[in-house]
């Protein structure tokens, strides 16, 4: 049997609108949609991570995996992508405490401290945060976060080192996608530069210019979507912001190709399949994971649970990095349309949903006065 026998038949239908208008909703709903949508995509894709697409179809039918299946002894199990995203969110909120107190701070140091707190939950060997005894924070008190979910190898290697990876001083030469899901929260605060924060979050562990720029792209795109922009406008604004960064050309080319391919698919009325995904990439590299997520989101951008489900099914039912591509796709569509587009059955089964929603509420709030907030987000 040749390869053509495994390729899905191309089915043309009515042409679809290529406009990707975001739903008119408030900031809180977009933040909740981003975090919950990303966690759902992560949990859906994790059981089929790097499985051959033909095997996925054989096990789950012609539509592929469309519901959570048991992993790590539970349904809806999140991976390290969502775990690290929560700790990155905590770091950004600690930065808010410092900024409102008119105190100087270094965002990459706060973010590295947060990632090392997560690293400690994985029971890894490495330098512990110096501030741990005096600034523990609330996430370390969540038992469900003290579980190992096959943490990204590059992240582990980088966090075992004593140095701080920055866009200017690389700690590894990796451009892998393992750090991409943590970058979305950097787009939540209007007063910051999301692109720069995304680059800094990625560079803590993944130092190759392509990976660093891809992290900045993701944060910037989320930041634009928070304002209700279309994906196309968000991508163009992001490209302009990162125009002179080292590594920008490779990321720009990959992202533009995915956006153009999605427009062609919509114009032709095609429902893309795993075969179309694998023609673009497998998501192992940061820029490929972002491009695939944009392609999936743009292929099914309508503000309905049915469209969200189709987009995430496309994002995870391929032979590549299913959990990360699923997480990024969910973050993009969740930011565009809010929580209402996420199928309720997925939310009901999602591991640590209450913790994710609690963090989303805090991100949407941004800052509160009083000692309780400072105890929750100690400024270290």
- CA–CA separation, 53 vs 314, rounded Å? 11
Find, among 280, 206, 199, the residue nearest to 244 by Cα.
199
pLDDT at 8: 56
pLDDT at 133: 60
How far apart are the two ends of the chain, measured CA to CA in Å?
A: 60
Beta bridge partners of 176: 285
Please name the fold of domain 18-376.
Answer: ADP-ribosylglycohydrolase fold (1.10.4080)
pLDDT at 86: 98
This prediction has a pTM of 0.94
- CA–CA separation, 319 vs 323, rounded Å? 11
> Per residue in 295-328, pLDDT tens?
999 999 999 999 999 999 999 999 999 999 999 9
Q: What is the mean pLDDT of each run of 10 residues along the chain (380 residues)?
A: 48 66 93 98 97 94 94 95 98 91 81 92 70 77 92 95 94 97 93 92 98 98 96 96 94 96 90 90 97 97 97 97 98 98 98 98 93 88
pLDDT at 5: 46
User: Domains of the chain: which residue ranges?
Assistant: 18-376
pLDDT at 287: 98
pLDDT at 57: 92
With a CB cutoff of 8 Å and minimum separation 6, the contacts of 292 are 258, 277, 280, 281, 283, 315, 320, 325, 328, 329
């Amino acid at each position: 049997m040749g390869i053509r026998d495994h390729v899905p038949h191309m089915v043309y239908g009515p042409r679809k609108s290529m406009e990707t208008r975001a739903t008119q909703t408030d900031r809180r709903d977009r933040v909740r949609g981003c975090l919950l949508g990303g966690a759902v995509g992560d949990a859906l894709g994790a059981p089929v991570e790097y499985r051959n697409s033909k095997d996925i179809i054989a096990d789950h039918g012609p539509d592929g995996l469309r519901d959570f299946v048991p992993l790590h002894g539970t349904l809806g199990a999140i991976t390290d992508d969502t775990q690290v995203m929560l700790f990155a969110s905590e770091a950004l909120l600690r930065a808010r405490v410092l900024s409102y107190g008119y105190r100087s701070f270094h965002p990459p140091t706060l973010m590295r401290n947060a990632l090392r707190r997560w690293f400690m939950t994985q029971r890894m060997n490495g330098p512990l945060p110096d501030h741990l005894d005096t600034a523990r924070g609330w996430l370390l008190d969540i038992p469900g976060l003290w579980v190992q979910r096959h943490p990204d190898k590059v992240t582990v290697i980088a966090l075992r080192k004593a140095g701080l990876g920055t866009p200017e001083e690389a700690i590894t030469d990796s451009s892998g996608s393992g750090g991409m899901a943590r970058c979305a929260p950097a787009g939540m605060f209007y007063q910051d530069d999301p692109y720069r924060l995304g680059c800094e979050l990625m560079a803590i562990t993944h130092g190759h210019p392509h990976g660093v720029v891809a992290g900045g792209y993701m944060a910037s795109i989320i930041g634009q979507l928070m304002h209700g922009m279309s994906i196309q406008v968000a991508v163009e604004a992001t490209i302009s912001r990162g125009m002179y960064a080292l590594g920008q050309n490779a990321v720009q080319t990959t992202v533009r190709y995915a956006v153009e391919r999605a427009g062609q698919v919509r114009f032709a009325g095609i429902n893309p399949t795993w075969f179309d995904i694998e023609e673009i990439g497998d998501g192992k590299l940061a820029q490929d994971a972002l491009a695939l997520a944009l392609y999936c989101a743009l292929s099914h951008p309508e503000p309905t649970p049915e469209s969200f489900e189709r987009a995430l099914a496309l994002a995870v039912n391929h032979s590549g990095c299913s959990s990360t591509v699923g997480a990024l796709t969910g973050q993009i569509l969740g930011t565009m349309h809010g929580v209402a587009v996420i199928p309720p059955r997925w939310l009901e089964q999602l591991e640590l949903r209450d913790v994710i929603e609690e963090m989303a509420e805090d991100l949407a709030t941004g800052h509160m006065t009083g000692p309780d907030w400072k105890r929750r987000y100690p400024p270290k």
